[in-house]
């Protein structure tokens, strides 16, 4: 970088501190100390595209609440969107062999919709993996399955709704057989077939902000997203999930995430080398 460019992209400790608190308030994301280089790298292109004089100017504009498009871009470039189909073997084995069959058994007793929420869905692989499992396990119930995929980033949700994945992305988790059954070739890539896409609705909102009205879910996937929040925010979110779950609903968090340090009513159920969580009345019927 030349001198002028270096000055333009300078990130003072005050600006970093301000950005940390703005991100925490607005989206719950906690930006750890030591991530200054990441902020400079990721926000520098936005300084130019939104025509700010400097990184300082961009952060000041965020403080003044900026336009929604700038906030969208900032959240998009600073959030971690890593995901893949059928992510993590043990929880997906448990979903396939235990959780989804038991949701289907309950659903057989009524004609109500089966509702699933993939919270922090990123580009959609998690929600589509669940849709595929329902089609495999209980094709006759698939029409009743309503999946909500939500994320704070508009960009990932747009990609999720399109459902188009590069070869590299499908190679991470999708078997040949599933590729054949549930994807269509699309301009050198693969598109999730329309019957799978139709099972999912995409919603943009922050888990740390106001939530839209959500129906009671049979299964909530809150995987690999709370890791970016402060402990208080994690605890609040866990407790806000309770009223949007059916009494028999199941909560699945990321394989490396534990709910042990937080106050909440969930109880763990461990099987097949994985753990999911249920509300107390369900836990007593399982013991
Ligand atoms: C690492 S991805 C996890 C995707 C998927 N759940 C999985 O486990 O593969 C985390 C996602 O959470 C989203 N996210 C981060 N903060 C959020 C917030 N406050 N509200 C909703 N989504 C958020 C990010 O945009 C990102 O797409």
The CATH number linked to 227 is 3.40.50.150
Please tell me whether residues 143 and 280 are part of one structural domain. Answer: yes
Predicted pLDDT of residue 87: 97
Predicted pLDDT of residue 284: 57
Whose alpha carbon is nearest atom 27 of ligand 1? 122
Is the full-model pTM beyond 0.85? yes
Whose alpha carbon is nearest atom 10 of ligand 1? 225
Q: What is the CATH number of the domain that holds 47?
A: 1.10.155.10
Let me know: does 267 contact 277? Beta carbons within 8 Å: yes
Pairing of strands 145-151, 200-204: parallel
Predicted pLDDT of residue 116: 98
Query: How far from the centroid of its chain's Cα atoms is residue 64's Cα?
Result: 28
Among residues 21, 55, 78, the one where a domain terminates is 78
Per-residue pLDDT of the chain (287 residues; tens, 9 = 90+): 567 677 778 899 999 999 999 999 888 888 988 999 999 999 999 999 999 999 999 999 999 877 789 999 999 999 999 999 999 999 999 999 999 999 999 999 999 999 999 999 999 999 999 999 999 999 999 999 999 999 999 999 999 999 999 999 999 999 999 999 999 999 999 999 999 999 999 999 999 999 999 999 999 999 999 988 989 999 999 999 999 999 999 999 999 999 999 999 999 999 999 999 999 976 555 54
Which ligand 1 atom sits nearest the alpha carbon of residue 122? Answer: 27
Q: Structural domain of residue 129, as residue ranges?
A: 89-286
Predicted pLDDT of residue 281: 75
Is 84 domain-assigned? no
Predicted pLDDT of residue 282: 63
Let me know: does 89 contact 48? Beta carbons within 8 Å: no
Pocket probe mutation, ligand 1, options 74, 225, 230, max atoms within 8 Å of Cβ: 225
Please tell me whether residues 141 and 243 are part of one structural domain. Answer: yes
Predicted pLDDT of residue 6: 76
Among residues 24, 47, 78, the one where a domain terminates is 78
Cross-strand bridge partners of residue 221: 118, 252
Using the mean position of ligand 1's atoms as its centre, give its distance from the Cα of residue 111 in Å: 32
Total structural domains in the chain?
2
Ligand 1 first shell, C-beta below 6 A: 27-29, 79-83, 87, 120-122, 126, 151-153, 156, 206-208, 223-225, 228, 254
Please tell me whether residues 139 and 46 are part of one structural domain. Answer: no
Please name which of 205, 203, 225, 131 lies closest in space to residue 174, comparing C-alpha atoms. 131
Is 244 domain-assigned? yes
Buried b (16+ CB within 10 A) or exposed e, 185-196: eeeeebbbbeeb
Query: How far from the centroid of its chain's Cα atoms is residue 209's Cα?
Result: 15
Using the mean position of ligand 1's atoms as its centre, give its distance from the Cα of residue 8 in Å: 30
Predicted pLDDT of residue 283: 57
């Amino acid at each position: 970088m030349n001198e002028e460019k270096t000055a333009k992209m300078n990130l003072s400790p005050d600006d970093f501190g301000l950005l940390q608190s703005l991100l925490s308030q607005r989206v719950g994301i906690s930006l750890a100390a030591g991530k200054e280089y990441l902020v400079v790298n990721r926000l520098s292109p936005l300084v130019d595209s939104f025509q700010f004089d400097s990184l300082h100017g961009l952060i000041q504009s965020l403080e003044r609440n900026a336009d929604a498009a700038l906030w969208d871009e900032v959240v998009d470039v600073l959030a971690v969107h890593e995901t893949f189909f059928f992510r993590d073997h043990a929880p997906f084995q448990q979903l396939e062999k235990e959780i989804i069959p038991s949701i289907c058994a309950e659903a057989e007793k009524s004609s109500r919709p089966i509702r699933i929420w993939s919270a922090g869905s990123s580009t959609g692989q998690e929600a589509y993996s669940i849709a595929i499992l329902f089609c495999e396990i209980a094709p006759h119930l698939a029409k009743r399955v309503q999946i909500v995929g939500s994320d704070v980033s508009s960009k990932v949700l747009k990609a999720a709704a399109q459902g188009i994945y590069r070869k590299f992305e499908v190679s991470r988790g999708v078997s040949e057989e599933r590729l054949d059954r549930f994807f269509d070739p699309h301009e050198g890539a693969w598109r999730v077939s329309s019957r799978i896409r139709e099972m999912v609705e995409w919603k943009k909102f922050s888990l740390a902000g106001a939530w839209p009205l959500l129906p009671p879910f049979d299964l909530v996937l809150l995987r690999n997203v709370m890791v970016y929040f402060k402990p208080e925010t994690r605890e609040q979110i866990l407790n806000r999930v309770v009223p949007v779950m059916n009494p028999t609903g199941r909560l699945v968090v990321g394989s490396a995430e534990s709910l042990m340090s937080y106050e909440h009513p969930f109880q763990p159920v461990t099987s097949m080398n994985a753990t999911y969580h249920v509300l107390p009345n369900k836990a007593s019927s399982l013991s």
